[in-house]
Amino acid sequence: MNDKPLMPKATAVWLVENTKISFKQIADFCALHELEVKGIADGDVAKGIKAYNPILAGQLTREEIEESSNDINRPLALNKKTLDITTVKKKKLKYIPLSKRQDRPSSALWLIKNYSQLSDGQIGKLVGSTKNTVSLIRKNTYWNSSNLVAKDPVVANLSSQIDIKNAVEKANRRIAREKKEKIKKEKIKKEDWLKKLMKINSFALVGVIMGSKSDWKTMTHCCDTLQKFGVKYEVKVISAHRTPNRLHKFLNQAKKNNIEIIIAGAGGAAHLAGVAASLSTLPVLGVPIESKLKGIDSLLSTVQMPSGIPVGTLAIGKAGAINAALLAISILSVRYNKIHKKLVNYRNNFEKKIPKNPY
Ligand code: RP5
C-alpha cells in the first residue's frame, strides 16, 4: 500500500491552484518539500505539468479538503481505500515495466514478419501496443523503424506461445472465411454477367453484337439503355474476322427473329458494323470501342464506309453505346407508340436534369 497520492506533483499543482491549503500541508500530503510546493505556486517548478484532480481520482474528499483548509495544523488524509483498489486493478491489467516497453515494437515486428496474417489489432493485443502503432510498423513508417530488430514476444515475455497460436488460428479462420466470401461474390457477379450476356429474347427488336467479350464493358451501357426503355434485345459476341460463320448465321436469323435494328460494337480495325451492313438490309448502327489508339482507329474503320453500304456511326466508347441505343429507340418510336411515349417522357425529363447554373 502506498501513502503517497498518485501523481504527487500534478496533485500538488491542483491543490495549489484550487484550494487554500497551506504549502506545508500540501508538501506533507504529496511527499514533496515545502519549497517545491512554493516553487509550484511561483511557477518555477512543475512547468507544463497538468493539474491532477485528487477528488475525481478518489484520493481526497471535498470535506477532507474543507477541514484542512480551515485548520492549518490538520494534515490531509489520503483515501487509502481507493488507492488500494487502484493498485489491485493495475495488477489485473498486467502492467509492463518501462524496461520492457521497448520490446513491444520489436515484438510487433517479429509477429508481422512471421505471421503476416495477424491483424494489427491482434498483434497490438499480443504485445500490449496500439493498432495504430502496429500499422505504422507494418508500413515501415514507425518513427523508429530503422532501428527496430524483430524479437520473439515469447522471449520478451510479452505474450505466451498459446496466445500466439490461438491468434494465428483465428486469423487463418478469418482469411479462409474472407476468401470463401470473395469467391462467392465473384461467382454471383459472373453468373449475373453471363445471364445478361446470354439473354435471348425471341421478340427482340434490337440485335446487339460486339467483336469481343472485352467490348461488353462498353456495350453493357447500350443494353442498359434499351432495357430502361423496355426495348427487348438480343446480345451476342460475334466477330467479323474471328467468327464470320457466326455473323452470317446471326444475320440470316435476324429477320426471322423480328430484329429490326442491328447495333454493332467493335474496336481496332473495326469492320463488324460494315460487314454486318453489307450482309443485311436492316439498319446498322456502329459503336467504335476505345482501343490502344483511343478508339480513333475504331471510329475511322466504322465511319469511313465507302458509298453504297451505310453504317450509322456513333461516338467512341460509352457515349456512343448509349446513343446507339437511343437512336435505335428513336427509329423504333416511329412504328411503336409505346416506345414513342417513353422517348417523349425521357426527353422532357432530360432537360430537367441539366442544371441551370454552372456552380
Ligand atoms: C475487335 O478487337 C473487338 O471488337 C475488340 O474491340 C478488339 C480487341 O479484342 P480482344 O483482343 O480484346 O478480344 O475485334
pLDDT at 1: 47
Task: List, for the chain, all residue ranges whose pLDDT scores fall below the cut of 70.
Answer: 1-2, 81-101, 194-202
SS3 assignment for 19-53: CCCCHHHHHHHHCCCHHHHHHHHHCCCCCCCCCCC
| Ligand 1 midpoint to CA 265 (Å) | 10
Per the domain annotation, does 184 fall within a domain?
A: no
> What's the rounded Cα separation, in Å, for the pair 145 and 138?
9
Q: Is residue 336 part of a domain?
A: yes
The residue contributing the CA closest to ligand 1 atom 13 is 212
Residue 337 within a domain: yes
At 85 the pLDDT is: 44
The answer to whether residues 171 and 122 touch, using CB atoms and an 8 Å cutoff, is yes
- For residue 100, what pLDDT is reported? 61
Beta-bridge partner residues of 266 = 288
Closest residue by CA, ligand 1 atom 14: 211
pLDDT at position 6 is 77
Ligand 1 atom at minimum distance from 211 CA = 4
> Of all helices (H) and strands (E), which one includes residue 200?
none
Mark which of 70, 92, 115 sits at the end of a domain.
70
Distance 266 CA to ligand 1 centre (A): 7
- Do 152 and 258 lie in one domain? The reply is no
**Total domain count, the chain:** 3
Cα separation, 37 vs 21, in Å, equals 11
Residue 291 CA, closest ligand 1 atom number:
6
* Lateral strand order in the sheet of 206-210: 233-237, 206-210, 261-267, 284-289, 312-313
CA–CA gap between residue 45 and residue 300 (Å, rounded): 83
Closest atom of ligand 1 to CA, residue 215: 6
- 12 and 144 in a common domain: no
pLDDT tens by residue, 12-46: 988 988 888 999 999 999 899 999 998 888 888 77
Residue with cell 513508417: 141
Spatial CA neighbour of 127 closest among 140, 111, 149, 114: 111
Domain co-membership, 239 together with 327: yes
Nearest atom in ligand 1 to the alpha carbon of residue 214 is: 12
Instruction: Please give all residues whose beta carbon lies within 6 A of any atom in ligand 1, as ranges.
Output: 211-212, 214-215, 239, 266-268, 289
CA of 273 to the centre of ligand 1 (A): 13
CA of 113 to the centre of ligand 1 (A): 44
- 105 shares a domain with 52: no
| Residue 192 within any structural domain of the chain | no
Q: Diameter of the chain by CA atoms?
A: 116
Which DSSP string corresponds to 113-172?
Answer: HH-TTS-HHHHHHHHT--HHHHHHHHTT-STTGGG-----TTTTTSS-HHHHHHHHHHHH
Return the residue matching grid coordinates 434490337: 206
226, part of any domain:
yes
* 352/359 Cα distance (integer angstroms): 16
Residue identifier of the C-alpha nearest atom 2 of ligand 1 = 267
SS3 289: strand
Confirm whether 86 is domain-assigned. Answer: no
Q: Whose CA is nearest to atom 7 of ligand 1?
A: 267
What's the confidence (pLDDT) of residue 95? Answer: 57
Q: Does 194 reside within a domain? A: no
pLDDT digits (tens, 9 = 90+) for 333-348: 999 999 999 999 999 9
Task: Pull the grid cell for residue 68.
Answer: 484542512
Domain around 134: 101-169
Q: Quick check: is 145 in a domain?
A: yes
Residues 33 and 157 in one domain: no
Could you give the CA distance from residue 248 to residue 241 in angstroms, rounded to a whole number? 11
CA-CA distance, 344 to 340, in Å (whole number)?
6
CA–CA distances in Å: residue 163 to residues 137, 176, 223, 270: 21, 20, 55, 62
Domain at 324, CATH number? 3.40.50.1970
Q: How far is the CA of 173 from the centre of ligand 1 (A)?
A: 42
Q: What is the DSSP string of 62-83?
A: HHHHHHHHH-TTSPP---HHHH
In the prediction, which pLDDT does 94 show? Answer: 55
Index of the ligand 1 atom closest to the CA of residue 239: 14
Opening angle at CA 176, ends 173 and 179, nearest 5: 150
Mutate which of 208, 210, 213, 214 for ligand 1 pocket (most atoms within 8 A of beta carbon)? 214
C-alpha 80 to ligand 1 mean position (Å): 82
- In terms of residues, how long is the chain? 359
Shortest-distance Cα residue to atom 12 of ligand 1: 214
Q: Which three three-digit cell numbers place residue 151?
A: 524479437
Mutating to test ligand 1, I would choose from 215, 299, 302 the residue with most ligand atoms within 8 A of its C-beta, which is 215
Residue type, 226: L
Which pLDDT belongs to residue 196? 64
Does 340 share its domain with 208?
A: yes
* Other beta carbons within 10 Å of 194: 10
What's the Cα-to-Cα distance from 35 to each of 27, 43, 44, 147, rounded to whole Å? 8, 12, 11, 42
Number of the ligand 1 atom closest to the C-alpha atom of 265: 4
Give SS3 for 248. helix
